[in-house]
Amino acid sequence: MKKLALSCAIAGAMMSLCASVQAAEPIDPIEPVEVKNPALVELGKMLFFEPRLSRSGFISCNSCHNLATGGVDNLQTSIGDRWAQGPINSPTVLNSFGQVAQFWDGRAKTLAEQAAGPIANPLEMASTHEMAVKVIASIPGYAPYFKKAFGDAEVNIKRITEAMAEFERTLVTPNARFDKWLKGDKNAITQQELNGYKIFKESGCTICHNGAQLGGQSFQKMGVVRPYKTTNTSEGVKAISGRDQDRMTFKVPMLRNIELTYPYFHDGAVWSLEESVSIMGDLQLGKRYTKQEIDDITAFLKTLTGDQPKVEYPVLPPSGPNTPKFDPWAKAQTK
């Protein structure tokens, strides 16, 4: 009995020690999300993949936030309506819930507000909220999904974006090797990866890239020590605040699954993770990393790739007799 008690005491002490070690780290493991309304998530998934929310009937949320490629399109800037070139790199939709705001400049405070933006943006889906509601309401097969999710079949833009946001909230990527290390599995990462993490911390990277998402919780100037040179005209938070001191200030990107979400930075100008590490060290921290340090930090960053969402592709209901006909090649209307 005494041996059993001693064993339990030792085990308890070890668990407390592991918890203390984890608590001391500036990064937290990311956990799966509890689904409270499966019907709302299912409807949101359908709408996330629904191209008829766009003017052309061709572009869906998944077009720019492809769940097969880390929640991005792996393009410098996204392709919008009539092959329009987007003004900024498309951030990942994975682990996007719980950020301080949405979009690079933070103009949307919630996922639902973010979801509403591209629908009416002429460079993206190029529809209107009124048309989006009209289209979805005209498709008979959606009625039972809205009724199950909301209690009745009414379609409005608030419900559309709320459902999409609830689906996106579930798109988390747990079980990254680094998370396993944080939870006590010291064999989950290699010595090189651990060295990279130590450099990452000691350099001050965790001042901005911390918490469960390693970012998304603050806004920082791009080019703290030295200016960042780019031909991209995006002004960052200045476009919202109007203050010149906010020029080139952007939401800190999340580093989860960073090896999948190239190209990097708001302008999508850098395709190599190693190069992005070098640039960030130089411009943000005033550090000129050696090749070995860059390789080590890059190795650490790759341990942040977690389990990708296993999403069963939805079968969307067919258009109804009153559903508008789509013509992707229609000429743009001029006022």
| Helices 129-137 and 157-169, axial angle in degrees (round to 10) | 80
Residue located via tokens 């900024």: 88
Predicted confidence pLDDT, tens digits, the chain (335 residues): 444 444 444 445 444 444 444 558 999 999 999 999 999 999 999 999 999 999 999 999 999 999 999 999 999 999 999 999 999 999 999 999 999 999 999 999 999 999 999 999 999 999 999 999 999 999 999 999 999 999 999 999 999 999 999 999 999 999 999 999 999 999 999 999 999 999 999 999 999 999 999 999 999 999 999 999 999 999 999 999 999 999 999 999 999 999 999 999 999 999 999 999 999 999 999 999 999 999 999 999 999 999 999 999 999 999 999 999 999 999 877 55
- Per-residue pLDDT, 332: 75
SS (H, E, C) the chain: CHHHHHHHHHHHHHHHHHHHHHHHCCECCCCCCCCCCHHHHHHHHHHHCCHHHCCCCCCCHHHHCCCCCCCCCCCCCCECHHHCECCCCCCCCCCCCCCCCECCCCCECCHHHHHHHHHHCCCCCCCCHHHHHHHHHCCHHHHHHHHHHHCCCCCCHHHHHHHHHHHHHCCCCCCCHHHHHHCCCCCCCCHHHHHHHHHHHHHCHHHCCCECCCCCCCEEECCCCCCCCCCCCCCECHHHHCCHHHCCEEECCCCCCCCCCCCECCCCCECCHHHHHHHHHHHHHCCCCCHHHHHHHHHHHHHHCCCCCCCCCCCCCCCCCCCCCCCCCCCCCCC
Q: Is 274 one of the annotated active-site residues of the chain? A: no
- Per-residue pLDDT, 6: 45
Residues paired with 249 in a beta bridge: 221, 236
Cβ pair 97, 244 in contact under 8 A = no
pTM of the entire predicted model: 0.91
In sequence order, what are the residues at sequence separation of 6 or more whose Cβ sits closer than 8 angstroms to the Cβ of residue 258? 264, 273, 301, 302, 304, 305
- Per-residue pLDDT, 329: 94
Torsion sign (Cα): 205, 210, 216, 220 = negative
Cβ pair 196, 298 in contact under 8 A = yes
Domains of the chain: 2-30+178-304 (1.10.760.10), 38-169 (1.10.760.10)
Rounded Cα distance, 127 and 160, in Å: 14
- Cβ-in-10-Å burial (0-12, 13-18, 19+) of 92 comes to buried
CA angle 328, 332, 335 (to 5 degrees): 150
Q: Tell me the two tokens of residue 308.
A: 């990708």
Cβ pair 173, 305 in contact under 8 A = yes
- Per-residue pLDDT, 8: 47
CA distances from 292 to 192, 295, 297, 298 (A): 10, 5, 9, 10
Neighbouring CB atoms inside 10 A of 253's CB total: 22
Rounded Cα distance, 192 and 215, in Å: 23
- Per-residue pLDDT, 32: 94
Rounded Cα distance, 189 and 157, in Å: 45
Q: What is the CA radius of gyration of the chain?
A: 22
- Per-residue pLDDT, 331: 84
- Per-residue pLDDT, 11: 46
List the catalytic residue out of 50, 124, 168, 293: 124
